[in-house]
Amino acid sequence: MNNNHNKTNSKNSNYLVEVDRSKCIGAATCVALAPKTFKLDQDQIAEVISQENDNNQDKLLAAQSCPSSAIRLIDRRTKKVVWPKSS
């Protein structure tokens, strides 16, 4: 796992959210789309504040809308990467 990824643990959510700080440009689209999952830290970089409080659809939309592709989603049960799609 890349050390730049900000990761928290959860028991209840399907999708585990990770933010690659080295890619984040602070556009804050993730915060707008999934405000209970993301916030901007003091350096204006996205960080995960909860894995539980937004639904999977909002998390997916936030990941898909990230202009710098800094967000990765992993299905907790299957361990497969949900986003980005492998080409």
Partner 1 sequence: MVWKELDRQACCKKVLTNLYKKHMTKPQEYTAIFENKEIYNEKFEHYHFELKKPFQLDFKAGQFVSVLVNEQGMRRAYSICSDPDINHGIEILLDIAPQGIGVKYFQNLKFGDEIKFLAPMGRFVINDEVNHKSLTLIGTGSGIAPLHSMVVDQLKNKNDKRPIVLYWGLRHARHLVWQDEFTRWSKKFTNFSFHPTLSKPEKGWPLCRGRVTDCLSVHDLLESAGYYLCGSRAMIEDCKKILLERGVSEKNIYHEQFF
Nearest distance in Å: CB 65, partner 1: 4
Q: Which of 5, 40, 74, 81 binds partner 1 (CB under 8 A)?
A: 40
Angstrom distance (rounded) from CA 45 to CA 52? 20
Nearest distance in Å: CB 66, partner 1: 8
Site stretch for partner 1 (CB under 8 A), options 4-12, 14-22, 23-31, 48-56? 23-31
